[in-house]
């Protein structure tokens, strides 16, 4: 079974995780394990978030990874990176050596700076990227600050007293909501979904403040999916190999036996990235100590 790496439940000898096939479980790197390079070419994905058994999307990730391997032949060597470690791993260059980065739900994150650092690395280094729910919100926040020069914009969940909110409380909570999303023709969103329209599931209380969105699009971000009220629900970055963020949670769709098309598209993009480094003779380094123990209970964004 192909699973995301998890921290050992009891002290044990340091074990470097190894990539494997659909029949291989991956063990955790420990804080003292040496950095390793995977020569097999299996795509490595960084799951950035504060892992918790109380966040439904987190509990479904291992099952989705298994289904990707068994059903689609897309084997991913997945490693959880807590947001509290993500900024340091970004600065050390570790994140840049993954084949995909997925910033998961579960906000408020332990470290806003860590989540933003992971998004920036993926954006600047051309690494396939997906942000869902809180990952979508922080994708817009990173772009606004780093690209648009909106240094003072804030996320209401992290800084409720801020004067300039980019991410604000929704007028109506979307926790447990299911709704139609329309993708723009010719967009990455449409290509990933395989359709112009899709019914999607949400679990969030925050979304983008409309008054700031023109600044994001003026600086190159494309808001490529909207709900029936015209509210932005998908963002992408033209010219990037694969950079997609959704306010809805594709990981909540179905029974996990058939991963959502967006998740399959991310896995395929990661496989292409891994194939590219094989052609170029470049290995993918994995940072030590990247596994996370279950975090305290958090909302799902």
Q: Give me the pLDDT at residue 280, please.
A: 83
CB atoms inside a 10 Å sphere around CB 153: 20
- Residue 93 backbone zone (phi > 0: left; psi -120 to 50: alpha; other: beta): left
CA-wise closest residue to 237 among 124, 73, 156: 124
- Backbone angles phi and psi of 222, in degrees to 5: -110, 125
Phi, psi values for residue 288, rounded to 5°: -75, 150
Q: What is the mean pLDDT of residues 157-172?
A: 88
How far is the C-alpha of 144 from the C-alpha of 209, rounded, in Å? 12
Q: Strands 243-246 and 165-169: what pairing?
A: unpaired
Q: How confident is the model at residue 173 (pLDDT cuts 50, 70, 90)?
A: confident
DSSP for 60-98, written as a single string: HHHHHHHHHHHHH---EEEEEE-HHHHHHHHHTTSGGGS
Tokens 């809180």 locate to 134
Determine which of 18-22, 194-198, 250-254 has the lowest per-residue pLDDT on average.
Answer: 18-22
Tokens 């772009």 locate to 143
| Model confidence pLDDT, tens digit, residues 126-138 | 999 999 999 999 9
Q: Is the pLDDT of residue 289 over 80?
A: no
How far apart are the C-alpha atoms of 247 and 135, rounded to whole Å?
8
> Could you tell me the pLDDT band of residue 176, with boundaries at 50, 70 and 90?
confident
User: How many whole angstroms separate alpha carbon 80 and alpha carbon 76?
Assistant: 12
Half-sphere exposure of 19 (CA within 13 A, CB side): 22
Q: What is the pTM of this model?
A: 0.83
229-249 pLDDT tens trace: 999 999 999 999 999 999 999
Q: Is the pLDDT of residue 150 over 70?
A: yes
What size, in residues, is the chain?
Answer: 301
On the CB side of 91, how many CA atoms lie within 13 Å of its CA?
7
pLDDT, one tens digit per residue, over 56-97 is 999 999 999 999 999 999 999 999 999 999 999 999 999 999
Q: Tokens for 57? A: 């999307």
The answer to which of 110-119, 143-152, 165-174, 279-288 has the lowest mean pLDDT is 279-288
Please tell me the distance from the alpha carbon of residue 20 to that of residue 43, in angstroms, as a whole number. Answer: 10
CA 4 to chain centre: 14
Record the tokens describing residue 282, joined without a space: 């470049």
pLDDT at residue 81 in the model: 98
What's the whole-number average pLDDT of the chain? Answer: 83
Token pair, residue 279, equals 């052609």
Q: How far apart are CA 274 and CA 279, in angstroms?
A: 9
Strand-pair category, 284-286 with 36-38: antiparallel
Determine the average pLDDT of the residues in 196-214. 91
């Amino acid at each position: 079974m192909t699973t995301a790496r998890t921290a050992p439940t009891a002290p044990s000898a340091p074990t470097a995780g190894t990539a494997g096939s659909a029949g291989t479980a991956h063990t955790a790197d420990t804080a003292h394990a040496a950095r390793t390079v995977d020569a097999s070419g299996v795509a490595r994905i960084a799951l950035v978030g504060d892992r918790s058994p109380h966040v439904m999307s987190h509990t479904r990730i291992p099952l989705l990874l298994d289904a990707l391997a068994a059903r689609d032949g897309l084997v991913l060597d997945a490693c959880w990176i807590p947001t509290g470690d993500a900024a340091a791993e970004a600065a050390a260059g570790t994140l840049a050596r993954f084949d995909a980065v997925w910033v998961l739900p579960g906000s408020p994150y332990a470290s806003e700076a860590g989540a933003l650092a992971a998004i920036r690395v993926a954006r600047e280094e051309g690494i396939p990227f997906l942000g869902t729910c809180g990952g979508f919100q922080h994708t817009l926040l990173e772009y606004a600050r780093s690209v648009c020069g909106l240094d003072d914009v804030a996320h209401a969940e992290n800084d409720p007293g801020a004067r300039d909110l980019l991410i604000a409380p929704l007028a109506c909570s979307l926790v447990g909501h299911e709704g139609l999303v329309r993708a723009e023709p010719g967009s990455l969103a449409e290509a990933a979904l395989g359709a112009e329209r899709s019914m999607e599931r949400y679990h969030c209380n925050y979304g983008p403040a409309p008054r700031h969105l023109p600044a994001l699009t003026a600086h190159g971000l494309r808001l490529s999916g909207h709900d029936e009220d015209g509210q932005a629900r998908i963002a992408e970055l033209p010219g990037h190999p694969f950079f997609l963020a959704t306010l809805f949670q594709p990981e909540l769709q179905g029974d996990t036996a058939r991963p959502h098309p967006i998740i399959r598209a991310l896995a395929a993009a990661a496989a292409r990235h891994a194939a590219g480094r094989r052609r170029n003779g470049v290995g993918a380094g994995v940072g030590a100590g990247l596994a996370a123990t279950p975090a305290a209970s958090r909302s799902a964004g």
